[in-house]
């Protein structure tokens, strides 16, 4: 994806993709934000029909959290809700009515509740949709599709293993030495080597900034099974004894992953708990160990690290592919703006921008852990007592005093993935206490109920997920 982004924004550059086909990716389910479909199809110009045929994604309207209160309830984090909008003649923004209801109601929440896809049938039989949804995709198929697009874009390919990295007298990368005896030389090396961070971390020794004061999970066990029920239009995030579990629904398979803290649980116990919750899961269990955090700078000398090579957090808000897209685009834009001769101040500014994005993700994820009262276990008690909210602490204090005022947005970085919309969905969904009260009058309550009912009626017109997959992905 990084190679396609650079070539798309800088078509005159020579871009070489270095990869080792002897190291195939693990075939797991991936969940995205709403940015990714727009980035792939509008930004990179990847054909939607070709993508649907090759990757066979399902649509993601948001997330369902089995989380928050200990009463067995759930809440949705939809991708389509405008907190700063105002319906009809209501005296306050919609956010205040969500706050009063203690729940968010949008077209997408109602579609998720009913298992519907983001496609409405028109009177002439045509389908209409919007651009707010994300994707559920199978990682291996997605990578294969992206790779198939590179040759046609003029991207060169080297299929071999990097066995040695040489540096020059200034400490910059001078060349990559390959297993077949060849070398790869470039002006800029984009490190996409995953957790190994071969260039930025291993070779340039950039300091790593851990997030272990805010995020305590460090291991995941993943598995899947063949689908035997309808496809769900959301990612499920379920509270577990020592962490949390995701579920990603694809047309043919269901993917599950249990993210937990090794301080409270080992792999064997986590696997038993996950299988007990999911009896259809087979024995194709994979274990992934990770450290949450980021490198102090993602762009050092002539190396820019993208993806897990530059930073990683658990996929509680599906930010992995989002960050690959944004960081690749930001890197390319910096090169464009500097006419391909990047200045130190530009590099410094971009490093600050990307670092802020990672730290904002950390802070938003911390809110998930600090206020989840779903179950009482040592892990969750530890989270509630010890999670460092970072910059989000000021935001939570503001919410406790002022409720859902959009002025809270001034406390959030302008490049936040979540913005106030996302933070508010979590604060309302987990029913974080606030001293502020809002009691709409009878007329406003009636008008708001009509707005919500209209959204429910519209959701009823949306195609069921299985029918939409048959009509669109199956074409």
The whole-angstrom separation of Cα 224 and Cα 285 is 8
CA–CA distances in Å: residue 449 to residues 91, 306, 337, 446: 15, 45, 49, 5
Does any domain span residue 184?
yes
Alpha carbon distance, N-terminus to C-terminus of the chain: 25
- What mean pLDDT, rounded, does the chain reach? 95
Identify the band that residue 472 occupies on the pLDDT scale cut at 50, 70 and 90.
confident
CATH number at residue 85: 3.50.50.60
Does any domain span residue 350?
yes
Does any domain span residue 452?
no
Report which of 266, 467, 296 is spatially closest to residue 258, judged by C-alpha positions.
266
Identify the band that residue 474 occupies on the pLDDT scale cut at 50, 70 and 90.
low
Does any domain span residue 469?
no
The whole-angstrom separation of Cα 389 and Cα 146 is 37
The whole-angstrom separation of Cα 7 and Cα 184 is 18
- pTM for this prediction: 0.96
Q: How many residues does the chain have?
A: 475
Q: Report the pLDDT value the prediction gives residue 142, as an integer from 0 to 100.
A: 96
Does any domain span residue 375?
yes
Q: Report the pLDDT value the prediction gives residue 199, as an integer from 0 to 100.
A: 99
Q: What is the dihedral of CA 420, 421, 426, 431, to 10 degrees?
A: 90
Domain range spanning residue 395? 2-213+292-429
Does any domain span residue 279?
no
The helix, strand and coil proportions of the chain, stated in percent and rounded to the nearest 5, come to: 40, 20, 40
Q: Report the pLDDT value the prediction gives residue 323, as an integer from 0 to 100.
A: 98
Give the count of domains, the chain: 1
Looking at residue 80, the DSSP 8-state letter turns out to be S
Does any domain span residue 221?
no
Question: Do 57 and 473 form a contact (C-beta atoms < 8 A)?
Answer: yes
The whole-angstrom separation of Cα 359 and Cα 346 is 20
Q: What is the pLDDT of residues 3-49, one digit of tens each?
A: 999 999 999 999 999 999 998 776 577 999 999 999 999 999 999 99
Does any domain span residue 415?
yes
Identify the band that residue 88 occupies on the pLDDT scale cut at 50, 70 and 90.
confident
Q: Report the pLDDT value the prediction gives residue 25, as an integer from 0 to 100.
A: 72
């Amino acid at each position: 994806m990084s190679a396609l982004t650079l070539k798309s924004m800088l078509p005159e550059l020579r871009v070489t993709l270095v990869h080792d086909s002897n190291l195939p990716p693990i075939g797991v389910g991936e969940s995205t934000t709403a940015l990714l479909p727009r980035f792939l199809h509008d930004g990179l110009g990847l054909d939607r029909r070709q993508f649907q045929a090759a990757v066979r994604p399902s649509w993601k309207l948001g997330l369902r959290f089995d989380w928050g209160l200990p009463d067995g309830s759930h809440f949705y984090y939809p991708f389509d809700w405008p907190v700063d909008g105002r319906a009809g003649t209501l005296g306050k923004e919609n956010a205040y009515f969500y706050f009063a209801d203690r729940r968010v109601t949008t077209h997408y929440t109602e579609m998720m509740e009913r298992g519907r896809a983001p496609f409405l049938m028109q009177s002439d039989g045509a389908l209409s949709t919007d651009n707010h949804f994300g994707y559920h995709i199978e990682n291996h198929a997605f990578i294969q599709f992206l790779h198939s697009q590179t040759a046609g874009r003029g991207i060169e390919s080297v299929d071999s293993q990097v066995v040695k990295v040489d540096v020059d007298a200034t400490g910059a990368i001078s060349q990559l030495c390959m297993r077949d005896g060849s070398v790869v030389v470039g002006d800029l090396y984009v490190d996409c080597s995953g957790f190994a961070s071969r260039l930025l971390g291993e070779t340039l020794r950039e300091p790593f900034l851990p997030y272990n004061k805010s995020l305590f999970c460090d291991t995941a066990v993943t598995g899947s099974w063949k689908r035997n029920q309808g496809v769900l239009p959301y990612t499920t995030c379920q509270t577990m004894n020592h962490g949390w579990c995701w579920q990603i629904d694809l047309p043919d398979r269901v993917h599950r992953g249990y993210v937990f803290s090794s301080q409270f649980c080992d792999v064997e116990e986590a696997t038993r708990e996950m299988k007990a919750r999911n009896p259809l899961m087979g024995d194709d269990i994979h274990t992934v160990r990770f450290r949450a955090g980021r490198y102090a700078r993602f762009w050092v000398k002539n190396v820019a690290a993208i993806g897990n090579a530059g930073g990683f957090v658990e996929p509680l808000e599906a930010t992995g592919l989002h960050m690959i897209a944004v960081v690749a685009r930001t890197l390319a834009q910096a090169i464009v703006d500097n006419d391909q001769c990047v200045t130190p101040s530009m590099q410094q500014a971009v490093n600050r921008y990307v670092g802020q994005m990672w730290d904002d993700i950390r802070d938003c994820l911390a809110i998930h852990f600090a206020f989840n009262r779903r179950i009482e276990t040592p892990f969750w008690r530890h989270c509630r007592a010890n999670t460092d909210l970072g910059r989000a602490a000021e935001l939570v204090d503001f919410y406790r005093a002022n409720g859902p005022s959009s002025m809270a947005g001034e406390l959030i970085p302008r490049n936040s993935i979540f913005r106030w919309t996302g933070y508010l969905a979590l604060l309302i969904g987990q029913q974080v206490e606030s001293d502020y009260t809002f009691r709409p009058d009878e007329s406003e309550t009636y008008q708001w109920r009509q707005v919500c009912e209209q959204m429910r009626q519209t959701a009823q017109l949306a195609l069921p997920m299985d029918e939409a997959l048959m009509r669109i992905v199956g074409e």
